[in-house]
Structure 1
Amino acid sequence: MPDYVNPFFYSPSPGLFPPESDRLSVHQKMLKVGLNTGNMMFASALHRVLGSEAGSAWAPRVEDFDAEKVGADHDCVVIAAANWLQPRSDFGALAEKLEKTGLPCFLIGLGAQAGSFSARPELPEGTRRMLDVVSHRSNKIAVRGPFTAEVLKTVGIENVEVTGCPSLLVASDNHIEKPAQTPQRIGIAGSRGAPNDKLLVAKQITHTLSRKLSQLMLDQPLDFIAQAEIPDINILMSQGRYDDVRPDWIEFLEKYYGAGIDRISSAITEKMNVFFNIPDWLDYLKDMDFIVSTRLHGTIAALIAGTPTLLIVHDSRTREMFEIMGIPSVPAEDIDPDAIDFKALYDSVDTNKFTVGLPAYRARYIRFFEENGLRHNL
């Protein structure tokens, strides 16, 4: 079995931005994390386990991927994947880069996204080509759960290992303590990316809950951890100024929050947080009592920090992670958006299944790495 020791990572930032990154614009930083800071969680874990966060060579975008140089300087390509199996994502350009390297390619943490397990996402031709390249250049592909494995099977890819998301490879085996008292410092990690007027009328429970949780930040003592809410992040990084925020974004925010921009800006400045550095993110979470999240990696970050958390399960991606990794969760349908009871949600958190399952989860990854000849430090 080969021993691959010098991987090139096709991944978002591993979550350790150098000091000079303070000069980067919000847009530039968001591009480095794949437009969602949660992506740093799985990228960081893979860099730490298979390479070095500080010294690993990586590229966050196809445009930054020099296939000829990678082929000459490295012995394999590690692809830190996310919920890539969906109709709107075409990875044909990545397939071309991977082919040009001539190297073994290892796809890790791949997930499929659909409204439910009964739906199978249609995969673009470019994505199928990328999957075919990786399937032939590795022993197995590491996927997040059985649903993703089934989606791959429909396009003829069967050399698959169900491993879960790699983000939790850096989690501690220690049991997460949940003090008996009512939580005081509560954080929200809601799901909303770029402005989209469809979100204002969408009836899906995830959109309804995410919007309601965002609105509660205006009136209640709640923190909000932003990951992909670009207009909000721009206001936050400008210390509440919104002069340079696009007028259509301001109009969207006022409709979404149901308030004027001055009030929104004040709440964002006082209560919203965004992190481009994982140690800072985890330190912040360690001081929180409870995190309620519709975001998978918002939940995972809290688990790594040892903070009680609850994932609101609302699609195939979040359900798959709950089932394979034992993440504390609640079905979105069980929450009334107009009567969210944070104390009841906190009382329902049970981290035992997650803690007990960590050794088996880690063993699955060790087996995957060793079957593919990837040197690791687990």
Structure 2
Amino acid sequence: MTVAILLISTEAQSDYAGIGDTAGLNASDVLKLSGVNVGNFAFKYGMRKLIGEDVIYTTYRTDPDYVRRNARALIVAEANLVNPGIDYGAPAKFIETVDLPTFCLGIGAQAGTMGDKITIPAGTLDYLHAVSKRSAGFGVRGAYTKSIIDELGVSGAQVLGCPSFFINPSRTLWQDVARKIGAEDFSSIALMEGIYPTGHPHAEKVSELERRLFDLVRFRNSDYITQAHPTIMAFAMGDGHMVEDSTLFHLRKRLAPGMRIPEFRELLAARSRVHVRIDHWIRDVRRYQAVIGTRIHGTIMALQAERPAAMISHDSRTSELCETLQIPVTSLDQAMEVPSVGKFDRLFEKIAKNTAAQRDDHRIELGRKIRNLMNEMEIPASPAFNALCDGAPSTAV
């Protein structure tokens, strides 16, 4: 039998791993194909790795009749759709029209801090009801999202985290990562770009933190891995020469006010990176000893590569998912207290060896809960995911 997996796009040879052909594409094209953030590919890829059945790929724009004729179920990986600024009315109509059993993971709420009350558009509520009606249950990022959905009168929400967290099938992932803390001097740290749009709930503080973190690029030769910034992405794709000085002036003011424009341009050309496929991302990040920044899926990709990742949480979305997945976090206030660029290494110490085995057990248990839901919906698990779920609990580092 065959199931249909929802992707962001099927253009440019896109598949579950990301964009298959970037020849002739620029940063704007990549952002369009990725849903304005290449981190979106992470949970799509993670979902595909869970499924042990033949698949076809579809989008919310695919002909519903085609999906019904060629698949017995719909597989959906989502993110922060419980969001005042997003109306999922059109996707809701797609789910309703396809009218197949729908297995969904990763739904999250977007707010400034956990506990904030939010109001969502009617179309998004329709979407949640459409998924609930066609499933034995659906996965949400954490308890905060579940509480919001429960209050909306939608049944079936289960706290299951994000499918991207289960890409690496190792049953000792956290222990493998923890062994690298203290054993290396972290001479090679990558920084995840964290430049967010105007309107971020903690915009001023996040902007100041990013300027301080960018000193890792300036003074410690860190690569700057972007997920969503068009200018950084242009440099990463070799198109930095097309970026106007006027654009760089504003970016330099934000990241490195003491640099001259030519020096700033040269630095971005040398250090900017972007990953448009998840398999390449995980492989490439292994060149670093550690990764730091405010991007949740950049953090998860580093962990899947068995590299220490220092996650700095900045909103409800990141805090909630880190809580569910037991990813150690540093708050914005704590990060701002780091006295110098040479001291950011201390943040990696939160991945303590004496808690690594417990984190591995928790990850296996979350995986088993996902597989239980898959079994209820008669969605077979992949051999790799079964191997993770069937692992014996860990007892030592």
Q: Does the pair score TM above 0.5?
A: yes
Among 6, 10, 15, the residue aligned to 1:9:
6
Distance 2:336 2:242 in 1: 33
Change (3 A) 1:218 1:136: same
SS of the aligned residue for 1:225 comes to strand
2:184 aligns with one of 172, 176, 181 = 181
User: How far apart are 1:308 and its partner, in Å?
Assistant: 0.9
Name the SS for the 1:23 alignment partner. coil
Paired with 1:313 and 1:273, the residues of 2 have a C-alpha distance of 22
Aligned-residue offset at 1:216: 4.3
Report the alpha carbon displacement of residue 168 of structure 1 after superposing the two structures with TM: 1.5
1:281-360 paired onto structure 2 within 5 Å: 281-336=281-336, 339-340=339-340, 341-350=343-352, 352=356, 353-360=358-365
C-alpha separation between the residues in 2 aligned to 1:112 and 1:241? Answer: 38
* Cα 1:71/1:192, change in 2 over 3 Å: farther
Q: What aligned pairs does 1:156-195 form with structure 2 within 5 A after superposition? A: 156-171=153-168, 172-174=170-172, 175=175, 176=177, 177-178=179-180, 179-193=182-196
Q: Judge conservation of contact 2:16–2:44 (CA < 8 Å) in 1.
A: yes
Give 1:121 deviation, angstroms: 2.0
| Equivalent position of 2:235 in the other structure | 235
Deviations 1:291-348 (A, max 9, x none): 1121111110011000011111222222212221111222222122672422322333
SS at 2:75 equivalent: strand
| Distance change >3 Å, CA 65–CA 213, structure 1 → 2 | farther
What is the percent sequence identity of the aligned residues?
A: 24
- Secondary structure in 1 aligned to 2:116? coil
Residue type at the aligned position of 1:283: R
Query: What is the one-letter code of the residue matched to 2:70?
Result: D
1:77 aligned partner: 74
Distance 2:194 2:161 in 1: 21
Residue 377 (structure 2) pairs with residue 372 (structure 1)? yes
Q: Which residue of 2 aligns with 1:135?
A: 132
TM-score, reference length from structure 1 = 0.88
- 1:58 is displaced (CA, Å) by 2.9
Q: How does 1:15-30 map to 2 (within 5 A)?
A: 15-18=17-20, 20-30=21-31
**Alignment match, 2:390:** none
> Is the partner of 1:6 in helix, strand or coil?
strand
Q: Could you tell which deviates more after superposition, 296-305 or 78-87?
A: 78-87
Q: Which runs of 5+ in 1 are unaligned?
A: none
Deviation at 1:355, TM superposition (A): 2.4
CA change 1:267–1:56 in 2 (3 A) is farther
Seen in structure 2, the aligned counterparts of structure 1 residues 276 and 366 have a Cα distance that, compared at 3 Å, is same
Separation of aligned partners in 2, 1:10 and 1:181: 38
The residue identity in structure 2 corresponding to 1:38 is G
When structure 1 is superposed on structure 2, of 327-336 and 258-267 the one drifting more is 258-267
Q: How does 1:52-63 map onto structure 2 within 5 Å? A: 56-59=56-59, 62=60
Q: CA deviation at 1:183?
A: 0.8
| RMSD (Å), alpha carbons | 2.4
- Alignment correspondent of 1:254: 252
Amino acid at match of 1:331: S
Out of 98, 110, 115, the residue aligned to residue 112 of structure 2 is 115
Contact 1:193–1:230 (Cα < 8 Å) also in 2: no
Supply the distance in 1 between the matched residues of 2:121 and 2:242 (Cα, whole angstroms).
38
TM-score (norm: length of structure 2):
0.84
AA matched with 2:326: G
The change in CA–CA distance for 1:193 and 1:252 in structure 2 (over 3 A counts) is same
1:219 is displaced (CA, Å) by 3.5
Aligned residues: 364
Letter in 2 for 1:192: I
